[in-house]
């Protein structure tokens, strides 16, 4: 990772950091210029589209969440992969 950068997906009123394994995968795809790819997240296949910076379940494309690569110090981070920050 570049110094201080992290991957986030959109929550209701803020951003969730991706879990470590998924973050490493995202960073690797990002670095190789891979724009659209599948990821297994909590047992479901998701499409990540880095051209439009969104993710959505492969078999339900109606619920799109924004994706963001930004400094880990951004405001509004709720926690990691659904686990609220202490």
Residues that bind ligand V3L (CB under 6 A): 9, 11-12, 16, 18, 41-42, 57, 63, 65, 78, 81-82
Residues 6+ apart with CB under 8 A from 71: 4, 5, 6
Q: How far apart, in whole angstroms, are the C-alpha atoms of residue 27 and residue 49?
A: 13
Q: Are strands 77-80 and 60-71 parallel, antiparallel or unpaired?
A: unpaired
Min separation Cβ 27 and ligand V3L, Å: 14
* 3 vs 63, beta carbon nearer ligand V3L: 63
Min separation Cβ 37 and ligand V3L, Å: 13
Give Cα 74 distance to the centre of its chain. 15
* 3 vs 36, beta carbon nearer ligand V3L: 36
């Amino acid at each position: 990772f570049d110094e201080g950068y992290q991957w986030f997906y959109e929550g209701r009123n803020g951003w969730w950091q991706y879990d470590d394994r998924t973050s490493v995968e995202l960073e690797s795809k990002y670095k190789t210029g891979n724009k659209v790819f599948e990821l297994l997240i909590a047992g479901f296949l998701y499409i990540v589209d880095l051209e439009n910076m969104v993710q959505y379940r492969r078999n339900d494309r109606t619920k799109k969440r924004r994706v963001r690569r930004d400094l880990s110090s951004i405001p509004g981070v709720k926690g990691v992969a659904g686990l609220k920050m202490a």
